[in-house]
Amino acid sequence: MERVAIIGASMTQFGQRDSWIRELLAEAGQACLDDAGVEGSEVDHLYVSNMASGEFEGQTGIANAVAHDLNAIPAYTARIDQTSSSGGAGVYSAWQSVASGASDLTMLVGGEKMTHRTTAEATDVIASLTHPAEYKHGVTLPSFAGLTARRYLHVHDAPRESLAKVAVKNHKNGVDNPHAQFQKEVDLETVMESPIIADPLRLYDFCPITDGSAALMLCPESVAKEYTDDYVTIAGIGGATDTHVVHERADPTVMGGVVDSGEDAYEMAGLGPDDIDMAELHDMFTILEFLQSEGLGFFEQGEGWKAVEEGVTDRDGELPINTSGGLKSKGHPLGASGVAQIYEVYQQLMGTAGPRQVEADTGLACNVGGFGNCVITTILEASQ
C-alpha cells in the first residue's frame, strides 16, 4: 500500500494567547497551507482535533468554522476528540482519510484555548474524562500522577531527583524553541524546591495550562511528489486503550496503551525501538516520560530514570527525547499537543529544526489520552 506523506506543518506560539479557539485554529491552518504551498480550496478533508471547545469557551462546530475561515468549503470536516491525545487521534483520522482513498489532500488542525479559565476550572474539565468511580472520590489527573510516581520511585529504587531531571532537560530544550510557552532553563534546585502539588510531584513536574494550535498537511506519497521532493512519511501508526478505571490496572507503572500502540506502530513500520533516532513523548507529568520510554522499548522496565540521569535522552545523547521542550516547557493545549509532537519530528527529519537540530532519519511521537486511557503512537521517516 502506498504510504501517507506529510508535506507541510505549522504551529502557533504556545502560551497565554488573546485569540479564541477559532482564531488559533485559523492561524495554524493558514500557516500550514502556506508551508505546504496549498490553497484552502484544494483540501479534500479537514479534521480538527480538540477536546473541549464547548466546555472551555461555549463554542462548538469549530471544524465547520475552520473550513469557512480557510476558504476550504466544500471540504469534508469533523472534530476528533480523544481527550489529551486528541492530536494523535487526529493524526490517525487524517492518515485513515488518505490511506482509505477518501481524500487526496487532508489537513489536520489541532488546538485548544484554556488559559481564560482558572486552574481549578481547567483541571475539572480535564478530570471529567476520568471514570465516575474515581472522579467522585475527587481524583484528578495530577493525583494519579502523584500516586504513580510514588510507586515507581519505590519499586525501582529511583531517586526523586531523576524526575526533576526530566523537567530540567526539557526546559533546557525549550530554550531553543521559539514557539514554546517557557523558553527558560530551570535548575535542579528550583524544581526540587517548587511547591508540592501531588506528593512527591511538585509544580515543575507538571506541564502548564496553554493556548495554542498546530497543523499538518497529509497526502499519498505519489501526490506529495507533485508538491515537493522533501517530505516525511508515516511509516507506522497505532492506537490502543487501557482500562478507563486506573485502579483496575495490574501494575500502574506499566502503560498498556503505550505498549500496545507502540507494537502496532513498530509492526506496521517494520522497525523496532533501536531504529528510532529521536522521540517526542507525552510528558504531561515528568513521570510519564519514564513510563513511555520503557513502554516503547527504548529502555528496560524500571530503567527509564537511569537513561535520564546518564544523559542518554539529552539533545546530544544517544536517543534525544523531547527536543521540542516537550509538553513540559512547550505547553499542552490539549487538542494541539499530539499535532505539535508530529510538527517537531517533521522539523527534525526535514533538517529544519534550527538550534534544536539532531541527527535523525526516523522519529517517533507518543500521545497519551487521559491517564493512559488511550494512546496513539506514530513513526515517521524522512523521504531522503
Interface residues with a second copy (CB under 8 A) are: 1, 22, 45, 51-52, 54-55, 58-61, 63-65, 67-68, 72-83, 89, 92-93, 95-97, 99-102, 125, 128-132, 237-245, 256-257, 260-261, 369-370, 373-374, 376
Handedness of CA 222, 226, 229, 234 (dihedral sign): negative
Least distance in Å: CB of 108 to a second copy? Answer: 13
Closer to a second copy by CB, 33 or 65: give it: 65
Q: How far is CA 235 from the centre of its chain?
A: 17
Nearer to a second copy, 348 or 373 (CB): 373
The DSSP string of 279-313 is EE---SBHHHHHHHHHHTTSS-TT-HHHHHHTTTT
Q: How far is the CB of 75 from a second copy (least distance, A)?
A: 6
Q: Which is nearer to a second copy, 23 or 230 (CB)?
A: 23
Determine the Cα–Cα distance for residues 93 and 367; give it in Å rounded to an integer.
14
| CB of residue 154 to a second copy, shortest distance in Å | 27
Cβ-contact 356, 176 below 8 angstroms: yes
Return the number of the residue (63 or 217) whose C-beta is nearest a second copy.
Answer: 63
Which is nearer to a second copy, 174 or 257 (by Cβ)? Answer: 257
CB of 127 to a second copy, least distance (A): 9
CB of 313 to a second copy, least distance (A): 27
Beta bridge partners of 236: 379
Helix (H, G, I), strand (E, B) or coil at 166: helix
Q: Residues 6 or more apart from 199 whose CB is under 8 A from it?
A: 146, 150
CB atoms within 10 A of CB 138: 8
Of the pair 250, 384, the CB lying nearest a second copy is at 250
The rounded distance, in Å, linking the Cα atoms of 178 and 156 is: 36
Q: Least Å distance between CB 211 and a second copy?
A: 18
